[in-house]
Amino acid sequence: MQQADMLGWLAAGLVFAAFYARQMAPLRGLAIASNLAFISYASLDHLWPIIVLHAAMLPLNLLRLRQALSLARHGEPRDGTASAVGTTVAPFCDTRPADAVRGQGSPSVHHGLTSSIAAK
């Protein structure tokens, strides 16, 4: 197996692993690793669409990782942006979004939605 093939399979495996991540920070870490692996893989064979795609996604994943870690530490984004998760999902969750990012509690959107409807 050639080096390019091995990098391609590594990158594909990292994307696949990201789908198994249950928390945002590990998911973003795997996404960042897959971006780097895909950029390396595509660079060997000059596959420009793949290079451009993953080079564009890399800073987004880095930003989202930073936000997820900030949310886990402080309970709200430190960059002044409103938490889309907190404003849309929190009313239907059993725990706060920051607790879910930290891995505390077991938020259940379905259960929270069902109980909030039943309470009305």
What are the extents of the domains in the chain? 1-79, 82-120
Amino acid letter for position 54: H
**Which pLDDT value is given to residue 103?**
57
d(CA 83, CA 91): 13
Percent of the chain at pLDDT > 90 equals 55
**Which pLDDT value is given to residue 83?**
52
DSSP string, 36-102: HHHHHHHHHHT-HHHHHHHHHHHHHHHHHHHHHHHHHHHSS-TTS---HHHHHTGGG-SS-HHHHHH
pLDDT at 120 over 80: no
pLDDT at 77 over 90: no
d(CA 27, CA 17): 8
Confidence of residue 1 (pLDDT cuts 50, 70, 90): confident
d(CA 25, CA 72): 9
Contact 43/3 with Cβ under 8 angstroms?
Answer: no
Confidence of residue 78 (pLDDT cuts 50, 70, 90): low
**Which pLDDT value is given to residue 75?**
77
pLDDT at 59 over 70: yes
Contact 100/93 with Cβ under 8 angstroms?
Answer: yes
pLDDT at 91 over 80: no
